[in-house]
Structure 1
Amino acid sequence: MQILIKLIVFFLLTTCLFSKSLDFFVLENGLRVILLEKHNAPVVDVRVFYNVGSVFEKDGEKGLSHLFEHMMFRGSKNVGDEEHSQKIQRIGGTSNAYTSDDLTVYHQKLPSVELELALFLEADRMQHLIVNKEILDKEREVVKEEYRWRYENNPQGKMFLEARKIYYPNYNYKYGAIGKLDDISALSVEECNAFYSNYYSPGNAILVIVGDFNTPKLVEQINTYFSLIPRRKLVKPPFSLYKRPKGKVEATIATEFPTEMTTVSFHVPPAHNVKDLATLEMIGFALANSESSRLYKNLVKDKQLALGVFDYVLINKGSSLMMIGASHKPELSKKIQRSLWKEFKSIKKRGLTETEFKKIKNKLLTSKTFDRYSSSSLADGIGRAYLYSGKPDAYLKELEIYESITQKDIKRVASTFLIKSNSTTIHFVPELKEKK
């Protein structure tokens, strides 16, 4: 009965949310626009995606994308220093931004009657951002402090930064969006202005708006604010898919964690391959996502070898990464690894049990359906999926892809990617116990 109720909710919400198709068009200056009306609440989510992230940064510029994200809030021709966020807050909205390996996103959520304000603010900083030494030096110190707080003084962040260098030894995902402190310290105003000119142009941006609006009226407003921004020569980011060298990789990293940890990671398909990544998500759920997962029951509850287990999938345009791991008692890394590989082998041969398969699929479908009830989640998903796939409606079709996964897919994907020649095993050891 519970499964039936979930499925009814899934179909009702899907029908309600997507009864109106989205609109997609391109302005003469190259700005791509995706609109989706959604009238369940008098709010709108406005996002500008720029096709630039840390993967595009040159040597000597590691961290520039993230630093520039901060500078975008420091004023433009018609908006004062930090007034962007202040203006949004005054009318009851919120604004923020984030930088990833592949993209940079600026977003605001606000009452639908104030939608025009967000258009004005985004258009002004797309064309008239102010970049000078005073702003650069202030934001440089903010970012350096963030680096120290999130990574240098954070054992978990520090651990993952070190692991990235092993996962991506010769690829720009190596340092992540935070970059390198030496590069951040040395960046000049000229480099920042060149970055702005190259990447913050209409032809390298996608405007996504989801919420309570009238499409014809909004199209006119978008033309008013954005169409006069000059087209600039598009600097195509130097991008290529990551090609992992074949062969098993093993490493030990000293950490400040008090317990040992072992992870086995696999390079898996890039972000546009939604079906294989969704299938891997199901496998991760079965292995380590909850107290009912295989590894938790085996390693934590029954054998009491591990203190906890976890799964994680980092989805990126150039190469995604799936990680399965456990924190455990000292000197047990090899036993943990054997248990992990035993489960990988079982899934490759037999798939999931029918109970696991149905439970996990229903759980993911329900969760992702409710995600789409939020204008913010919808806008973010639509923009990211478009940048990854080149298809404006890609995100709206993802639920159908999850629904289509079969046990055959589980075994196929596990057999393709969960193999030793594609594995990176890292044993994280407390510094005091590191073997010299």
Structure 2
Amino acid sequence: MKLKISAILSTGLLFGCLAALGPAALAQSAPSVASEFMLKNGMKVIVKEDHRAPTAVQMVWYKVGAIDETNGTTGIAHALEHMMFKGTQKHKTGEFSRLVAELGGRENAFTNRDYTAYFQQVEHSRLEAVMALEADRMRNLQFDKNEFAKEIRVVMEERRWRTDDQPQGLMNEALNAAAFVAHPYHHPVVGWMDDLQNMTIADIEAWYRRWYAPNNATLVVSGDVSADKVVAMAERYFGSIPAKTIVRGKPQNEPEQHGLRRVTVKAPAENPYVILAFKVPSLRDVEKDQEAYALDVLSAVLDGYDNARLNDKLVRTDKVANSVGAGYDDITRGPTLFTLEGSPAAGTTTAQLEALLRAEVSRIAKDGVSEQELQRVKTQLIASQIYKRDSIFGQAMEIGVMEMSGLSHKNIDRIVDKLKTVTPQQVQAVAQKYFTDDKLTVATLEPLPLSGKKLGPPPGPLR
């Protein structure tokens, strides 16, 4: 298994299998540029027209997530997400999902460290109906004690299934708690169990009243739609909802780390595992933060395609690992980590694999990467970006994540352009600069006997 420490979506390079496509084929699938509007109440509306199929995706993104929680309130963003399906003054519990299904659509929601989002995908003529439903629960959510009592038990069971009963969940939780001692990324998105057990319906309602407002939300619509008509509908359904004064908490900045940290997790598992997490910069300024692009490319050199360095060397050639990986989440509201991870093969210890993973980065720091290797990575990058945009849901996701991070959807193509300019020297420079003990947290899984217990599938997005 390959463990991931990021939640919901990684917005670094997504390397696909379309590298063989020529420029003409790639250009044919490029959708239109997104249009942006602002309602008088401060709600941003972004429309990405794509007329290749008669469907539409609506997403409402609230700029509030686990990053906005404090001690004692962890998990509340996710708990409210569950309650958003529990009825309004107009629609009873369960009616929202039933109505979307009757329209032939699909719907869901997800909570991340940085945001909470709700979506529906429907036949394009049904967009107005789901927009009316979404606007209703932005303004008129009901808070029933009995429904909350049932739903918070669902959330706690979700925590048990995703974390308490999953070695990868326990490991990710312990890693983040060790890497971040002050920043809210210390806390799991699902929340600590004690906080969930002591959460009240009043807590949930207060969170809703504080954060769920049009001026803290972005409406993203993609698909076979007209931007002018979408904006007119948004004005009709969302425009009358009053803005609120959004007061964000005091900064909970992470102090400087001054030495290696280690955490060990003992849990029933089939194989040991190790994750190395280095503190590195995230992308804040699209034009200036060249190191973030170099780190993205470094991640791809190590683990961006089938024959990338980690897998080729440690799994296929030397056979010292069953699986390996590298990851870098560059677009976040808070600090970020660059991870190296893997499961050692028989005869290799986690300590030995840890050293071997670091050796691959050290090799790049010493010898660099060739222009040929870098060009191969960039070809994969261009193809993967086009592949993402072949999905109207993927387009809406990309726009929403950019907006929630403060980078603006208008910079999506600019980021691709900047990635193309990364040089071998810049990749070598970040490999030399950031992969030291002083910024490193290591999490190790020591497997306990399974005792006949079968592990479930890896956890997916929180819902």
Q: Is the pair's TM-score, using the shorter chain for normalization, greater than 0.5?
A: yes
Determine which of 389, 410, 420 is the counterpart of 1:393: 410
Q: Distance in 1 between matches of 2:263 and 2:153?
A: 33
Among residues 379, 386, 411, which one is paired with 2:396 in the alignment?
379
Q: Does 1:282 align with 2:282?
A: no
Distance 1:185 1:427, change over 3 A: closer
CA–CA separation in structure 2 for the residues paired with 1:124 and 1:29: 16
- Residues 3 and 31 (structure 1 numbering): CA distance in 2 closer, same or farther, change over 3 Å? closer
Number of aligned residue pairs: 428
CA offset digits 1:330-371 (Å, max 9, x no partner): 662333233223221221233323332122221122112110
Partner of 2:70: helix, strand, or coil?
A: coil
Q: Which residue of 2 aligns with 1:189?
A: 201
Instruction: Specify whether residues 4 and 56 from structure 1 end up closer, same or farther in structure 2 by C-alpha distance, changes over 3 A only.
Output: closer
Match for residue 343 of structure 2?
327
Distance in 2, matches of 1:291 and 1:68, equals 40
User: Could you say which residue in structure 2 is the equivalent of 1:299?
Assistant: 314
* Aligned equivalent of 1:135: 147
Q: 1:146-161 residue pairs with structure 2 within 5 A?
A: 146-161=158-173
AA aligned to 2:261 is V
Question: Counterparts of 2:157 and 2:109 in 1: how far apart (Å)?
Answer: 18
| Alpha-carbon distance between aligned partners in 2 of 1:421 and 1:116, rounded to the nearest angstrom | 53
Q: Is the alpha carbon distance of 1:4 and 1:184 closer, same or farther for their aligned partners in structure 2, counting shifts above 3 Å?
A: closer
Gaps of 5+ in 2: 1-17, 450-463
- TM-score, structure 1 as length reference: 0.91
Preserved CA contact (<8 Å) 1:54 1:100: yes
Q: Is there any run of 5+ residues in structure 1 with no aligned partner, and where?
A: none
Partner residue of 2:57? Answer: 45
Provide the identity percentage: 27
CA distance in 1, matches of 2:365, 2:112: 32
Alignment-mate amino acid for residue 319 of structure 1: P
Please list, as runs of the form range in 1=range in 2, the aligned pairs for 1:59-208 lying within 5 A after superposition: 59-208=71-220
**2-structure distance, mates of 1:304, 1:46:** 46
Query: For residue 422 of structure 2, what is the aligned residue in structure 1?
Result: 405
Q: Could you tell me how far 1:215 is from its partner in structure 2?
A: 2.0
Match of 1:425 in 2: 442
Say whether the 8 Å CA contact 2:64–2:116 is kept in structure 1: yes
SS state at 2:194 partner: helix
Q: Which residue of 1 aligns with 2:363?
A: 346
How far residue 124 of structure 1 moved from its aligned partner, in angstroms, is 0.4
CA distance in 2, matches of 1:174, 1:322: 16
Cα distance in 1 for partners of 2:236, 2:161 equals 42
Q: Secondary structure at the match of 1:146?
A: helix
Q: Does 1:224 align with 2:247?
A: no
**In structure 2, what is the Cα distance between the partners aligned to 1:339 and 1:167?**
21
Contact 2:19 2:383 in 1 (8 A): no
Deviates more, 1:257-266 or 1:289-298: 289-298
Task: Give the Å deviation of 1:162.
Answer: 1.8
1:247 aligns to 2:259 (yes or no): yes
Please list, as runs of the form range in 1=range in 2, the aligned pairs for 1:19-38 lying within 5 A after superposition. Answer: 21-38=33-50
User: Once the two structures are superposed, what CA deviation does each residue of 1:53-91 show, in whole Å capped at 9, x if it has no partner?
Assistant: 011112211110001000001111222212112111112
CA, structure 1 residues 293+386, in 2 after alignment: closer, same or farther (shift >3 Å)?
Answer: same
Report if aligned partners of 1:386, 1:394 keep a CA contact under 8 Å in 2: no
Instruction: Give the structure 2 partner of residue 318 of structure 1.
Output: 334
Amino acid corresponding to residue 317 of structure 1 in structure 2: R
Distance 1:427 1:317 in 2: 27
Counterpart in 1 of 2:373? 356
Q: CA deviation at 1:43?
A: 1.1
Stretch moving more, 390-399 or 68-77:
390-399
Alpha-carbon distance in structure 2 between the residues aligned to 1:331 and 1:218: 58
**Distance between the aligned counterparts of 2:273 and 2:227, measured in 1?**
52
Rounded Cα–Cα distance in structure 1 between residues aligned with 2:358 and 2:200: 49
- Identify which range, 214-223 or 276-285, moves more after superposition: 276-285
Give the drift of 1:137.
0.7
Q: Which moved more, 1:286-295 or 1:158-167?
A: 286-295
Cα distance in structure 2, aligned partners of 1:3 and 1:179? 40
RMSD between aligned alpha carbons? 2.3
- Normalised by the length of structure 2, the TM-score is 0.86
Amino acid at match of 2:340: I
- Match of residue 8 from structure 2: none
Confirm or deny: 8 A CA contact 1:251 1:427 kept in the other structure: yes
Aligned residue identity for 1:71 = M
* CA–CA separation in structure 2 for the residues paired with 1:102 and 1:216: 30
Alignment deviations for residues 304-344 of structure 1 (CA, whole Å, 9 cap, x no partner): 32222122334532012221122113662333233223221
Is the 1:253–1:428 contact (alpha carbons within 8 Å) kept by the matching residues of 2? yes
The CA distance in 2 between the partners of 1:209 and 1:321, in whole Å, is 31
SS at match of 2:358: helix
Return the alpha-carbon distance in structure 2 between the equivalents of residues 428 and 254 of structure 1.
6
For the residues of structure 2 that align with 1:288 and 1:34, how far apart are their CA atoms? 33
Displacement of 1:290 in angstroms is 5.1
